[in-house]
Amino acid sequence: MKEIVLAKYGEIILKGGNRPKFERLLIDNIKDALKNVVRCRVTLTQATIYIEEFDEDKIDIIVDRLSKVFGIVSVTRAAVCEKNMDAIKETAREYLKDDLSAPATFKVEAKRSDKAFPLNSVQLCIELGGYLDDCFPNIQCDVHDPDITVMAEIREAGAYIYNRNKKIKGQGGMPIGSGSKAMLLLSGGIDSPVAGHMIAKRGVTVEAVNFFSFPYTSERAKEKVIELARIISCYTSKIRLYIVPFTDIQLAIREKCPEEHMTLIMRRFMMRISEKIARKAGAKALVTGESVGQVASQTLAALDVTNAVVDMPILQPLIGMDKIEVIKRAEEIGTYETSILPYEDCCTVFTPKHPTINPKRATIERTESVLDIDGLEAAALSGVEVIDIYPE
């Protein structure tokens, strides 16, 4: 019995005349996600992607990888057979016997894309359902809320049989590369990895910048950020990480500026430096993980002061979410357990006891004017470490 993997896309179907462009991009992304894992053949017909001709012991890896490819809404394993009722019945009985042997309710659904098939969808369901009911005495038909939905798809290349209840939910969204490039400010916290994932889901190629304050932040804090980038790369196939030395800037701010302004001035430096890296990399926007009012530096007044120093768009996908929602997303994408590891990032090390929550632009600009902004930024940019990170 031949087993393959079927993947279905969603939003691409709405792209009209541009649909083939998005389909080709999605196929390229699938091949990229699988290239170091398995040799296989990937084809697309009638909004369904077929992954075939692979070693059977690799199928679980294929399903897992495809479930993380943006643009795909569902992934399922399926058996393939000839387009005649004898073959369809035998394949369904053999392929689904483990599911159908235990007491359960079931129904049969059919999609007949090949209109040359002699039975229509209703006739196919009746005949296949009656056959399976005879073969497995423990199952009962329930067309409203079954435990098992036996799917029979009749397509040009063959008949495909699977249990629809075992479909794996995909990421949805748009294929990576269809939405230009953005630069993510990636900390070691919970929020920014989720923000990066949400923007990548819209087809945006994401690169990331992290600010590292050795020796105030440890090598383990750096490794934590690299691991978060690696988890994100499972969805994007690759992510380029820029690690910026930030110690001298923070020490200068601590020495010359009021403590209550430290966080805002640090964040203004981060935004300016990130914009310079982004423009050099060809990115069109910055991505940050702010949520209004979550901390003192994320009040509307504080965000106004921070964002005023850059000219490119700033994307903030978490801006209206609460922490519980963000944590749930972090758990779903697999970053949460890494984010809560107790290794401090540069922001938490230099946090003031009483940060200002209602800052004025003019006040912060006057405060930071005592610093050699251009010199500090140039020194930091000259020491940037670039790491290309891939899924394991």
**How would you write 327-380 as a 3-class SS string?**
HHHHHHHCCHHHHCCCCCCHHHHCCCCCCCCCCCHHHHHHHHCCCCHHHHHHHH
- Stated as kind and residue range, the H or E segment containing 159 is strand 158-163
* φ, ψ at 57 (rounded to 5°): -75, -5
Q: Using one digit for the tens of pLDDT, what is the confidence trace for 130-140?
A: 999 999 999 99
How far apart CA 229 and CA 224 sit, in angstroms, is 9
Amino acid at residue number 339: S
Answer for the pair 117, 157: CB distance below 8 angstroms, yes or no: no
CA distances from 230 to 21, 191, 240, 327, 389 (A): 28, 16, 10, 19, 6
How far apart CA 221 and CA 344 sit, in angstroms, is 6
Confidence of residue 357 (pLDDT cuts 50, 70, 90): confident
Confidence of residue 321 (pLDDT cuts 50, 70, 90): very high
pLDDT at 218 over 90: no
pLDDT at 352 over 90: no
Confidence of residue 127 (pLDDT cuts 50, 70, 90): very high
What average pLDDT score do residues 191-199 get?
A: 98
Give the distance, in angstroms, between the CA of residue 139 and the centroid of all CA atoms in the same chain.
Answer: 38
% the chain with pLDDT above 90: 80
pTM (two decimals): 0.89
What average pLDDT score do residues 90-94 get?
A: 96
* pLDDT given at position 313: 97
Confidence of residue 54 (pLDDT cuts 50, 70, 90): confident
* pLDDT given at position 346: 60
* pLDDT given at position 305: 93
Q: Using one digit for the tens of pLDDT, what is the confidence trace for 131-181?
A: 999 999 999 999 999 999 999 999 888 999 999 999 999 999 999 999 999
Answer for the pair 95, 161: CB distance below 8 angstroms, yes or no: yes
What DSSP assignment string belongs to 279-346? Answer: HHHT--EEE----TTSSGGGSHHHHHHHHTT--S-EE-TTTT--HHHHHHHHHHHT-HHHHTSS---H
* pLDDT given at position 348: 62
Q: Over the chain, what is the mean pLDDT?
A: 93
How far apart CA 379 and CA 202 sit, in angstroms, is 34
